[in-house]
Chains A and B, each alone.
Chain A
Amino acid sequence: MSATPSIPAAASSMPALSGMPTTVPPPAPGAPLAKDALLALVQERFPGAVRDAADAWDLTIIVSADQLRDAVLFLRDDRRLQMAMLLDIAGIDYLAYPGHRRARFAVVYLFKSLVHGHRVKLKVEVDEEAPELPSIHDLYKIADWSERETWDQIGVVFRGHPNLKRLLNHHEFIGHPLRKDYPCQKRQKLSVNDPMLDQLELRLRQLGYSVLSEGQITSMPTRGLPGAIDGAGDRGQLDPDLRQGSNAGADQRGVL
């Protein structure tokens, strides 16, 4: 870690990025950049980016939705940043946040650089009217599932995602449970398994196969077969909420 004297040498030996002014010298591997320096780097490239005041502990940078993919690429590929790891994607609904005047949703991307050791969170605000963001599933492999989870829980659509299906909740589930207006005690009747044949065919096509005929699905429980949707299971007979249909149990039964 005592590599401080070598920083100027490393900076001068590296070629400058394509015509970009460099105000911050690139650090030696293993030396994390300070928060201000990281922010300056991102702001130099994306002048509209601002530091999120809500994150007083670490660094969260707010970028606009149309800058998102460029900003992610910049974080990943700039040799001073090299954020090769996307740790997580988290959706936040600010509907009930006291004094919140900005967009209803925000999606936070957590990045980490294994080379330099620094962390940055990118935050994108998402409007309630059009909750949409460009997908980054092609930039990080994990983004595929993380975006599915965010869509499932908060209801932000990721444009360009090849398989934007629910991940944590049942495929028949209606609504997005981590939205603040989704009642905590609401119940839904979910009965039929996802046959997943469409997802498997998608995967086969991604691998270069073409599917000629579907054939038989084996090892599937009988209730899971398409067409086996029954109106009321055993519980449906007993529970008035469930008897009204799969999504009629909407009334809130008080909170914890």
Chain B
Amino acid sequence: MKVLTPQGDHLELLTVNMGPSHPATHGTLRIFTALDGETVVAAMCEMGYLHRGFEKMSEQGTYTMVLPFTDRLNYCSAMMNNIGFCKAVEKMFAVTVPERCVVLRVILSELSRIIDHLVCVGANLVDLGALTNFWYFFNPRESVYKIWEKLCGARLTNTVTRIGGFYRDTYPGFEDDVRKVLVEIEGAIKDVRGLIEHNKIFLDRTRDVCVVSKEDAISWGWTGPCLRASGVDHDLRKQEPYYGYETYNFDTVIGSTGDTYDRIMVRIFEMLESASIVRQALDRFKPGPLNTADARLSLPDRNRVYHDMEALINSFKLIYEGVRPPPGECYDATEAANGELGYLIVSDGGTNPYRIKVRPPCFTQFAAFGPMIEGTMVADAFGSLGSINIIAGELDR
């Protein structure tokens, strides 16, 4: 393509289509670029290759039937999507879940955040040519998935929470398994930091590459680790605490320049903070009721169902019709691994959601990707694609 530059020079640009099916796109993303040599002059992104109509499907079933769909949003940290959705519905009912449920949700959320960051950083380093880190990170990740397997029988898409509580309680030895895996995770992080922190190739490929300023990050609506990497102190666990996060002792990790290096490092240090939160939560993890006693949300005890007519009716109503939130429009958000995961739920008082709008955190990050890579080299552009952690499942819904 022949163009005239803003300076008035003639230039021959090469248009190159990258993706949607390419190992470096980590999913199904398409980036259409105009290149001058190896430098990206202009880029437009296309998404939607994994669009499965989550929002339309959600309107066809009950609230409980939506839960398994939420697993498929950010499938690298499926449990956090479950928890965010359940929290939003519980907000509509104005129900608070018991203490044991809250603490278990914190433990599972933070472990999910860790495995999400493990995949993101591990795969990002592969993009930069550093394969060893990937294996260092995938060993503890596998151990976490073994815990998931023992907890609920599923590995990737768990559907472990229920509106008002959990599918079932933990197994004997859960706490020990989690403590063991935390040690493994911290060991892997130490190994990877040893490999990259003073590695000249890594530093050259990431420092001052694809810098996103504070103002741009806010205007793009970035949240989560990417926003914090640009130097904005914003974390829902601190600013709008839920599930007692204000009582845990942890730091918000903030970057300084907003380059690829900061985005990777913020994630690495956040994993250590999350591990510390999990340890504190394990100390508070005491026996007690797991599900709310509210009959609008929770199934009655099985023994009562067989002997008590009210409980039998309650059980039938909940299984066949599901929960019925009060009519209205409610938005609720949690700090997921990628940023603010929000659900705007419109209820007409019926058993099916009237409308669910998901606010996926990586939508805003991918929207910025085109302008972000303009002016950089193609190889660095893909190095930074990994650092904004696009999960096509939640991007396209």
Cβ contacts B1-21/A at 8 Å (1 or 0 each): 111111000111111111000
Among B12, B43, B330, point to the contact of A58 (Cβ < 8 A). Answer: B330
**Contact in complex: B216, A54 (CB < 8 Å):** no
**If A92-B355, A177-B56, A220-B17 touch, does A207 touch B46 (CB 8 Å cutoff)?**
no
Range of interface residues on A (Cβ < 8 Å): 35 or more
- Shortest Cβ distance from A131 into chain B, in angstroms? 16
A114 within 8 Å of B (CB atoms): yes
User: Which of A66-74, A192-200, A229-237 faces chain B?
Assistant: A192-200
**Contact in complex: A196, B32 (CB < 8 Å):** yes
A84–B221 CA distance with the chains assembled, in angstroms: 9
B126 within 8 Å of A (CB atoms): no
Contacts of A114 in B (CB 8 A): 218, 232, 234
**If A209-B3, A218-B16 touch, does A110 touch B342 (CB 8 Å cutoff)?**
yes
A86 within 8 Å of B (CB atoms): yes
Contacts of A92 in B (CB 8 A): 329, 346, 355, 357
A194–B232 CA distance with the chains assembled, in angstroms: 37
Contacts of B134 in A (CB 8 A): none
- Shortest Cβ distance from A211 into chain B, in angstroms? 5
Contacts of A244 in B (CB 8 A): none
Most buried by A among B5, B91, B332, B396: B5
A242–B219 CA distance with the chains assembled, in angstroms: 43
User: Which of B168-176, B292-300, B363-371 faces chain A?
Assistant: B363-371
Among A55, A96, A197, A212, point to the contact of B2 (Cβ < 8 A). Answer: A212
Contacts of B218 in A (CB 8 A): 84-85, 114
A211–B326 CA distance with the chains assembled, in angstroms: 56
- Shortest Cβ distance from B37 into chain A, in angstroms? 15
Contacts of A177 in B (CB 8 A): 53, 56
A184–B352 CA distance with the chains assembled, in angstroms: 14
**If A117-B240, A167-B47, A203-B42 touch, does A88 touch B4 (CB 8 Å cutoff)?**
no
Contacts of A182 in B (CB 8 A): 56
Contacts of B15 in A (CB 8 A): 197, 200, 215-218
The closest CB in chain B to the CB of A204 belongs to B42
A90 within 8 Å of B (CB atoms): yes
The closest CB in chain A to the CB of B5 belongs to A209
A178–B350 CA distance with the chains assembled, in angstroms: 18
Among A142, A184, A209, A211, point to the contact of B221 (Cβ < 8 A). Answer: A142
A91–B350 CA distance with the chains assembled, in angstroms: 20
**Contact in complex: B342, A87 (CB < 8 Å):** yes
Contacts of A117 in B (CB 8 A): 239-240
- Shortest Cβ distance from B302 into chain A, in angstroms? 29
B380 within 8 Å of A (CB atoms): no
A166–B239 CA distance with the chains assembled, in angstroms: 35
A72–B5 CA distance with the chains assembled, in angstroms: 35
Contacts of A207 in B (CB 8 A): 6, 41-42, 374
**Contact in complex: A210, B3 (CB < 8 Å):** yes
Contacts of A96 in B (CB 8 A): 354
A9 within 8 Å of B (CB atoms): no
**Contact in complex: A209, B48 (CB < 8 Å):** no
The closest CB in chain B to the CB of A153 belongs to B55
A167–B240 CA distance with the chains assembled, in angstroms: 31
A149–B364 CA distance with the chains assembled, in angstroms: 12
Among A108, A142, A213, point to the contact of B219 (Cβ < 8 A). Answer: A142
A56 within 8 Å of B (CB atoms): yes
A36 within 8 Å of B (CB atoms): no
Cβ contacts B46-75/A at 8 Å (1 or 0 each): 111001010111011100000000000000
Among B92, B223, B331, B367, point to the contact of A145 (Cβ < 8 A). Answer: B367
**Contact in complex: A204, B367 (CB < 8 Å):** no
**If A169-B51, A203-B43, A218-B17 touch, does A140 touch B354 (CB 8 Å cutoff)?**
no
Contacts of B340 in A (CB 8 A): 87
A203–B330 CA distance with the chains assembled, in angstroms: 37
Cβ contacts A124-160/B at 8 Å (1 or 0 each): 0000000000000000111011100100010000000
Contacts of B10 in A (CB 8 A): 212
Among B6, B60, B326, B329, point to the contact of A184 (Cβ < 8 A). Answer: B60
A98 within 8 Å of B (CB atoms): yes
Contacts of B367 in A (CB 8 A): 141-142, 144-145
**Contact in complex: A110, B344 (CB < 8 Å):** yes
A214–B220 CA distance with the chains assembled, in angstroms: 30
- Shortest Cβ distance from A228 into chain B, in angstroms? 15
A243 within 8 Å of B (CB atoms): no
Residue pairs across A and B with Cβ atoms less than 8 A apart, 23 shown, are A84-B219, A87-B223, A88-B221, A88-B359, A93-B355, A97-B354, A117-B240, A141-B216, A141-B220, A141-B221, A142-B364, A142-B367, A144-B367, A167-B48, A184-B57, A204-B41, A207-B6, A207-B42, A208-B6, A210-B3, A211-B3, A213-B2, A255-B60
5 more A-B residue pairs beyond the given contacts A90-B357, A196-B32, A218-B15, with a C-beta to C-beta distance below 8 A: A57-B328, A141-B216, A142-B221, A200-B32, A207-B42
Ranked nearest first, the 4 interchain pairs of A and B with the lowest CB-CB distance are: A208-B6, A142-B221, A90-B357, A145-B367
